[in-house]
A and B are shown apart, each in its own frame.
Chain A
Amino acid sequence: MDNTDREGWVYSEVVKEHFLNPLNFLMGDENKYEHDAEGIVGNPICGDQMKMFIRVENDKIVDVKWKTYGCASAIASTSALSELAKGKTLDEALKIGPEEIAEFLGGLPQHKFHCSVLGHEALAEAVKNYRKKS
C-alpha cells in the first residue's frame, strides 16, 4: 500500500516527511486551543494561507500551533517553522526567514519558494499582536 519510500517526488525527503506527518498542526476548531496571540498570511485565492498560534511565557514561545490551506510545500514549511520557533524568544523567532525554513527542509523547488514559504510572516504578525496586547 505504502509507496512513500519510492523515488520520484519533486520534493526532498524532509519535505515529504513534514508533509505526510506534519508536526504541531491544529486540528479542527481553533477556539479550543488556548493561545496568547495569532497571525495570518496569504489568501485562499492565491492557493496558500497560513495561520500561526503562539503561547508565550517570559518572552519565550513555549508552544506553537498552525493551520494551513495549501500545497505540500506550504504544509511542510509551516510544519518546519513550528519546530524552528518552539522554545525561541520572541526576538529570535522574528529572525526566522524563508531561507532558514527552506534550508531546514533540504531545499524547495524554485517556483514554490515565494508563494508557499510564508509562515514566518504569520509568526511575525502573531508576535506583533502579542506585544500589542501585553
Chain B
Amino acid sequence: MRRVYLDNAATEKMLPCVKQAMLDAMDAELGNAAALHYEGWNAKKLIEEARVRVARLINAESEEIIFTSGGTEANNTVMEIFRGKRIVTSSVEHPSVLEAARARAGELVVLPVDRWGRVDTVDIEKEAKIADLVSVMLANNELGTIEPIKEYVKCCKKYNTYVHTDATQAVGKIKVDVKELGVDYLSFSAHKIGGPIGAGVLYVKNGVPYRNLMYGGKQEEGRRAGTSNILGIVGLGAAARWCWEEWSCRKWAEVTKLKNELKRRILAEVPYSSCNSPDEGCLPGILNMSFQAAEGESIQLYLDAEGICVSTGSACAAGDIKPSHVMMAARHDAEVAHSSIRLSLGLDTTKEDIERVMAVLPGIIRKLQGMSTIKVGA
C-alpha cells in the first residue's frame, strides 16, 4: 500500500516539471557558466532565466537574488555580513540562524516567544533601537506559526535597523513579497518548494550592506564564489516558475481545509490530545500535536510501521534526544515537548490519507498511554 507522507515540511517531493527541466539541462550543451564560449553562454543563460523566475516569485529585482547551496548558507551569509555587530533574533529560529548568529554576533539577543512561537512587537521595538540586525523567521518550521514580519519591519525602520527573515517554510505556501514585507534580506531553499536539495536563495535588497561568505571566483557578481550549481539552479528556477504560474498559494489554501479536518478529528477522537499550532496565522500544511503520556518517537515509529510518515519536533533533531528548542521556547514543559509530533501535509495529501491516519492513531495513542508511567488526566 502507498505510504502516507506527512513530512512535507522536512522536504517536499520534487515536482515533475523540475525533474524534466533538470534532465533537459543535463542533455544540453552546457559549459562552465563563467566561460565566454557558446557552452558557457548556454549555461549562463539558464542561470539568468532561473534568477528572473525566482525574483518574480518574491517580487524582487533579478540583481537582488544570490544563488546559494541552500537555506543554511543563505542564513550564514547574512550573519557574516553582521559579524561583530548586535544581532537580535528569536528563540524559535532554525539552528542555521541561531547557531550562525551565535558564532558571529558581537552581541546576541535571543527574544522569547509566546505560546504559539511569536515574538512580542514591544520587544522588537525596544531592541531595534540599538540593534544592527533583527532576524526573525517568516514562518516556523515546527509549529507553522506565521510571524507578523511587516510589523517588525515597521519598528525597525524607525531606527534604520536592518531586517532579515528566514522564509524557508513560507515561500510557495503563502504570499511572500519582499517589497510589501519591506525586509532587507530573505532566505529560502529549493527543496521546500518542490525543487532539488542543494540550491537556495539569498535575497539582498539593493543598497544594503553585504559581505561574502565564500571568496574566490567572480560568480554571482562576485558575491558568492564557486562554480555555479547549474542543475540545482535550473531545478530551483523551474520550481519557482511552477509556484508562480500555478498559483501555488491558492493550491496550498486548499490544504488548510484538510489540515483543519485532521486537527478536528484528532482532538475529537484521540484522548488527551492538544494542538500546538495556532488556529489563525498558521502555514497551510503544518499541524503540531501533543498527546499526554505518549512519547513522540514512539508515536512516530508506530505510525511508520503502519505506513505513515510524520516527524517529531524537527526532522533535523533525529538523533538528538533533547526536547525541541521550539517547543521549549513556546513555554511548554519538557513532557509536552517530548510528547509532540508534527504532521505536515502536502499538495498531494488526500482525504483518504487523513482516513488512514485516523484509522490507526487513536489506537496507537491509547496503547502508549495505557503502558505509560504517566497517568493521563492527572
Contacts and interface: CB of A to CB of B under 8 A. Distances in A.
A77 interface: no
Interface in B298-351: 298, 301-302, 304-307, 319, 321, 323, 333-335, 338
Interface stretch (A21-29, A55-63, A83-91): A21-29
B373 A50 contact: yes
Contacts of B307: 1-3
Interface size class of A (residues with CB under 8 A): 20 to 34
A25 B298 CA distance: 15
Contact of B371 (A42, A44, A48, A67): A67
B372 interface: yes
B305 A111 contact: no
A69 B3 contact: no
A111 B301 CA distance: 17
Contacts of A9: 301
B305 A3 contact: yes
A51 interface: yes
A20 B321 contact: no
A1 B293 CA distance: 26
Interface string A29-60: 00000000000101011111111000000000
Contacts of B298: 19, 70-72, 74-75
B376 to A, nearest CB: 10
Contacts of B305: 2-4, 20
Interface in A80-123: 109, 111-112, 115
A38 to B, nearest CB: 11
A79 to B, nearest CB: 10
A44 B297 CA distance: 14
B1 interface: yes
Nearest to B293: A69
Contact count band on B: 20 to 34
Contacts of A72: 297-298, 301
Given A44-B338, A75-B298, A111-B321, A1 B306 contact: yes
A69 B373 contact: yes
Interface in B63-87: none
Contacts of A70: 295, 298
Contacts of B302: 20
B374 interface: yes
A5 to B, nearest CB: 10
A117 to B, nearest CB: 13
Nearest to B296: A71
B370 interface: yes
Given A3-B307, A20-B302, A72-B297, A47 B323 contact: yes
A20 B323 CA distance: 23
Interface string B150-169: 00000000000000000000
A67 B369 CA distance: 10
A47 B374 contact: no
A51 B305 CA distance: 26
A49 B374 contact: yes
Interface string B223-259: 0000000000000000000000000000000000000
Contacts of B297: 71-72
Contact of B321 (A4, A26, A47, A50): A47
Contact of A22 (B295, B333, B371): B371
A41 to B, nearest CB: 10
A44 B374 contact: yes
Given A70-B298, A72-B301, A3 B373 contact: no
Contact of A27 (B321, B338, B371, B373): B371
A68 B306 contact: no
A56 to B, nearest CB: 21
A3 B3 contact: yes
A47 B338 contact: yes
Nearest to B302: A20
Nearest to A110: B319
> Which A-B residue pairs are the 6 nearest by beta carbons?
A71-B297, A45-B334, A69-B372, A47-B338, A49-B373, A27-B370
Interface of B: 1, 3, 293-295, 297-298, 301-302, 304-307, 319, 321, 323, 333-335, 338, 370-374
Given A1-B306, A3-B306, 8 more contacts: A3-B3, A40-B373, A44-B373, A47-B323, A71-B295, A71-B297, A74-B298, A75-B298
